[in-house]
Amino acid sequence: MNLKLFTLIGILLCAPLSGCLDESVADNQEQECVTLPAGHDDDGKLRILTYDVLALTDSMVEEFESSSGMEVEFIKESDAGGVLDQMMLTKSAQQADLMIGLDNSYLKTAIDNCLLRETLFTQSPQFENISTSALKPYQGELAIPFDQGTVCLNYDENYVDGENVTLPTSLWNLTEPQWNGKTAFPSPLSSSPGRAFMIATIEYFENDDDNQTDAFDWWSEMSDNGATFTSGWTEAYETHYTGGYGEYTVGYIGDSHLTVSYCHSPGVEAFYSSNWTHSTSLNLPKSSFHQVEYVGIINGAANVAGAELFIEHLLSNGINTLMPENNLMYSVLENSSLPETDGFRFHADIANQPAEIPISRIEMEMEQWLTNWKSATQ
């Protein structure tokens, strides 16, 4: 028999072999969370699973290493979704001790899958310094907020000049011809700001006057109106959006005048361009989502003590109040604010009534929302 044909048939017939995978049975069973033994050797190093969180500056990590005497090693994923994927994939033998970067749209999935273990930080006096807004989505012992911001729509003021194109007063305005092919959205399937904005649209359309349509009808109409969907925030903001710094970068397309970012992104733009920006946020009620990012000890960590120390370090006054400059996000500490330098605070907008969907509902319905979103935008 022809070898190629033989190989193909062999592969196609291997379906019955899937029964050999006994782990599928174990993984499918509902389980009560227990503290797992270390998934890797404890060699004194602290292994941190994260994405490119800018707050983890060289000086911040060096300071920790010299004060704790521990070496820090990073296992980097491309984004918050990647952090959760990695933890799910290595569930039976976790390779890191500490997770940094899951937000409130992903956190409940991690908790429900027993991927995190309790931290003692909630008993520390430092925990009292965390603002109530940061603790609103979750205030248990499995994850500690370390930064926050509100995801909302940003638009280019050069396009929305008030004469030729007027300021949208409803999300439905974006389905009109003047916005045809001029909006870019990071996909909720692969981007955390994309996911946050999709959650906001659920609440927005549940609370509007029209009971005949829901968020996915809007997404479907946006798709028909030529909206661009990208895999991550960077592609939407940097490659497509005309209002941001992307216009000065390589690979820029500049075909969209509205995208998803943070309400304070115009402030960041000004901060990096000597108090100059032509981007601003679209402040429609319920069209934004308060995003909180968390740090948590991984269930299966080897260096738990080191992980506890790092949480304390990340939430210390000296480090966390510098979040706006270092991480371009708000600090989670009480009484902290954005810097005045170069118009950062001036251009940063405060969201008008962010969407309020509890994380338990997010976890329960997310799979269905993502499926609906996919069908609506295909």
Partner 1 sequence: MGKGRSLIFNLAQWVIITSFALAIILPLLYAIIRLESVTGNSSLDSIILFFENPETLDALKFTMVESLFSVILTLIIGLPLAWQLGRYEWKHIPIIRSLLSIPFVMPAIVAAMGFLALIDQDGPLQKIGIDLRSESGFIGEISSLTGFENTGHFIALIVAHAWFNISLIVRMVEPTLSTMDPSWEEQLRLLPAGNSRLGRIRNIWLPFIGPAIACASALCFVFSFTSFALVKWLTPNNSTMESLMAESGGTAGIYNYRVDTSEIVLAICLVQLIILITALGFTSRLQRKHSLRHAMVSESSARNSRGKPTILGRITILSGLIFTLLPLILITWSSFIVRTVEDGIVSNEFTLAAWENVWAGDNSTIALHEALGNSLIYALITLVFSLTIGWVIASTINRLELSGKVRMAKIVDLISLAPLGISAVMIGLGILLGILRWSPSLFNWFMVPVLPHVLLTTPFVVRVMLPAIRSLDNSFEEQAKMLGLSEFRIWIHSRLSFLLGPLAVAGSLTIAFSLGEFGATWILVRSGSWDTLSILVDQLMSQPKFNPLIYPMAMASATILMALTFVLFLLAEKVRPSGEGSGF
Binds partner 1 (CB under 8 A): choice among 92, 213, 317, 341: 92
* Widest pairwise Cα distance in the chain: 76
| Residue of 18, 164, 169, 368 that binds partner 1 (CB under 8 A) | 18
Q: Are strands 144-156 and 279-282 parallel, antiparallel or unpaired?
A: antiparallel
Residue 1 makes contact with partner 1 by CB under 8 A: no
Find the binder of partner 1 among 46, 90, 175, 196 (CB under 8 A).
90
Contacts for 201-206: CB closer than 8 Å, 24+ residues apart:
201/171, 201/287, 202/355, 202/357, 202/369, 203/286, 203/355, 203/356, 203/357, 204/171, 204/284, 204/286, 204/287, 204/355, 205/171
Choice between 26 and 350, CB closer to partner 1: 26
CA-CA-CA-CA torsion sign (25, 49, 311, 344): negative
Q: Which of 35, 43, 44, 52 is in the footprint of partner 1 by CB under 8 A?
A: 52
Nearer to partner 1, 52 or 176 (CB): 52
Among 67, 93, 334, 360, interactor with partner 1 by CB under 8 A: 93
Site string for partner 1, 163-192 (x = CB under 8 A): ---------------------------x--
Q: Kindly state the smallest distance separating residue 231's Cβ from partner 1, in Å.
A: 6
Closer CB to partner 1, residue 130 or residue 160?
Answer: 160
> Which residue's CB is nearer to partner 1, number 345 or number 374?
374
Q: Which three-class secondary structure string do you get for the chain?
A: CCHHHHHHHHHHCCHHHHHHCCHHHHHHCCCCCCCCCCCCCCCCCEEEEECCCCCCCHHHHHHHHHHHCCCEEEEECCCHHHHHHHHHHCCCCCCCCEEEEEECCCHHHHHHCCCEECCHHHHCHHHHHECHHHHCCCCCCCCEEEEEEEEEEEEECCCCCCCCCCCCCCHHHHHCHHHCCCEEEECCCCCHHHHHHHHHHHHHHHCCCCCCCCHHHHHHHHHHCCCEEECCHHHHHHHHECCCHHHHCCCCCCCECEEEEECCHHHHHHHHCCCCCCEEEECCCCCCEEEEEEEEEECCCCCHHHHHHHHHHHCCHHHHCCHHHHHCCEECECCCCCCCHHHHHHHCCCCCCCECCCHHHHHHHHHHHHHHHHHHHC
Q: Nearest distance from residue 92's CB to partner 1, in Å?
A: 7
Q: Could you tell me the smallest distance in angstroms from the CB atom of residue 129 to partner 1?
A: 25
Q: Residue from 138, 205, 216, 237 that binds partner 1 (CB under 8 A)? A: 237
Per CB under 8 A, which region of 215-223, 245-253, 306-314, 346-354 contacts partner 1? Answer: 245-253
Binding to partner 1, residues 332-371 (CB under 8 A): 371
Q: Which is nearer to partner 1, 120 or 370 (CB)?
A: 370
Query: By CB under 8 A, what part of segment 262-301 binds partner 1?
Result: 268, 272-274, 276, 278
Interface pick for partner 1 out of 46, 81, 121, 202 (rule CB under 8 A): 81
User: Given the complex with partner 1, which of 328 and 357 has the nearer CB atom?
Assistant: 328
Tell me which of 46, 56, 142, 222 binds partner 1, using CB under 8 A. 56
- Kindly report the number of other CB atoms within 10 A of residue 375's CB atom: 11
Stretch binding partner 1 (CB under 8 A), from 10-18, 161-169, 172-180, 283-291: 10-18
Residues 109 to 168 in contact with partner 1, rule: CB under 8 A: 109, 113
State in angstroms the smallest separation of the CB of 196 from partner 1: 17
> Is residue 238 a contact residue for partner 1 (CB under 8 A)?
yes
* Choice from 31, 43, 67, 88 touching partner 1 (CB under 8 A): 88
Q: Show the site string, 207-236: x = touches partner 1 by CB under 8 A, - = not.
A: ---------------------x-xx--xx-
- For partner 1, which residue of 32, 58, 128, 163 counts as binding (CB under 8 A)? 58
